[in-house]
Amino acid sequence: MSIQQTQPLIGADTFNWKKWDACTHCGLCLPTCPTYRELGLETDSPRGRLYLMGSAFKPQDATPLNEEWAEYIYRCLDCRACETACPSGVHFGELLEEARAIYELNAPRSISYQFWTNLVFKQILPNKERLDLIFELMWLYQKLGLRWLVQKTGILKLMGQLGQMESLLPKIPSPRLKYTMRDITHAEGKTRYRVGFISGCIMNQVFTETNLATIRVLAENGCEVITPRKQTCCGALHLHNGVRDVAATLAKQNIDAFENENLDAIIINSAGCGATLKEYEVLLESDPVYAEKAKHFSHKMRDISEFLAEIEMIPPKGEIPRRVTYDEPCHLLHGQRVKSQPRKVLQTIPGLELIELTESEWCCGSAGIYNITQPELSQEILERKMIHIAETEADIVATGNPGCLLQIQLGIQKHGLNMKVMHPVTLLDYAYRSVAPDDWEK
């Protein structure tokens, strides 16, 4: 179905033509684009997608927005590999997010689509209490063995999309764990820095241990860690899916939560969230009240590996005599240009052997909720990643993003590999606490 464009498109007047015009159509980004490599279509390449945006939003020669247009725009992983490759500095991620927001403001979406997006993006993700309740119920569901029962009965196959989502569900940690996180964690020894910590929404529910490990590692390095309760979801999933107004509201809430804390830095351990938090200054650049505050906030944001590599990090003493390979989360490498720091941090661990991964800079196919919205393509992209991971014969794959951790775990299970996937900060935490690998799961 096409959208009748007798009226100008809502939101198209603020589309950033200056950034769009930076594209010289050279095509150097094409070989780095995972969807172009898989599908071989110009319309599934960065250059093709930029053309589609231009043709839909230019007031003088707008072509109708239709489902086919949206298919190409939504098939993009938003991995931003094209940004790294682009010699003209095209901000593809920003343009893509704007394009999706314009589509969502104008597209006649089905009632069920509106119901689900409203529920997830507006009712659940921004609401900590609801999120807590949902994950506590999920934990109970797993704890009572209902998951085993549901999987055994084959009911999931009958549940379609919902059944697929269940199979992607990781093991939920005990809800008690997240309540052990304190508002203020004091530094071990002398206080060298005062830092804020973003605990995240899904990250705090599923990877609570990683959050606690991050705080311990910071404290070990002389940081007083402030984790304000008023903070909320960063809005990354909203931005990637065209729900820009909610993302802006969440950004303001986070800026307010950290504003008066007098911090040296604000730390995040999730690459996807980090890229969005560093770009609040772009999201709120025309907001008369928040533009300056957003700039200040974004400039303080650091990925945990980036921060540790910047300060005089105290090297851990505990040994981890394991072969470790590092996979780069797209939003850390392409979104934040953080490449050497995670490797540098891992190399401080005694006994750890770091093995380079071929195509570590390529997306694993997780890309936020891409493995739910584009399951087949996501699996095809993962397959290529898993071939290279298997080649390393590593014991551990380290990666610093929740989506990548889950996606690679899925690949490891599927291929029956004898490997673990872990956040780099978890390894670091074990090394500081001298917990030997044989004791990790005890």
Report in angstroms how near the CB of residue 268 gets to ligand SF4 at its nearest. Answer: 21
- Interacting residues with ligand SF4 (CB under 6 A): 23-29, 32-35, 46-47, 49, 76-82, 85-86, 88, 90, 92
Report in angstroms how near the CB of residue 339 gets to ligand SF4 at its nearest. Answer: 17
Our CB check for ligand SF4 shows the closer of 84 and 348 to be 84
Residue 266 and residue 225 in contact, taking contact as beta carbons nearer than 8 Å:
no
What are the start-end ranges of the H helices in 232-368? 236-240, 244-259, 271-278, 280-283, 291-300, 304-310, 330-333, 340-346
Report in angstroms how near the CB of residue 87 gets to ligand SF4 at its nearest. Answer: 6
Our CB check for ligand SF4 shows the closer of 89 and 160 to be 89
Closest CA to 59 of 2, 15, 106: 15
Report in angstroms how near the CB of residue 81 gets to ligand SF4 at its nearest. Answer: 4
Report in angstroms how near the CB of residue 20 gets to ligand SF4 at its nearest. Answer: 10
Distance CA 64, CA 110 (A): 18
Our CB check for ligand SF4 shows the closer of 80 and 302 to be 80
Closest CA to 57 of 92, 95, 114: 95
Report in angstroms how near the CB of residue 301 gets to ligand SF4 at its nearest. Answer: 21
Residue 67: how many other CB atoms lie within 10 Å: 12
Can you list the positions of beta strands (E) in 131-276? Answer: 184-185, 193-197, 223-226, 265-268
Q: Residue 36 corresponds to which tokens in the numbers above?
A: 């172009």
Our CB check for ligand SF4 shows the closer of 47 and 385 to be 47
Our CB check for ligand SF4 shows the closer of 53 and 217 to be 53
- How remote is the C-alpha of 372 from its chain's centroid? 14
Distance CA 390, CA 10 (A): 48
Residue type, position 141, single letter: Y
Our CB check for ligand SF4 shows the closer of 20 and 432 to be 20
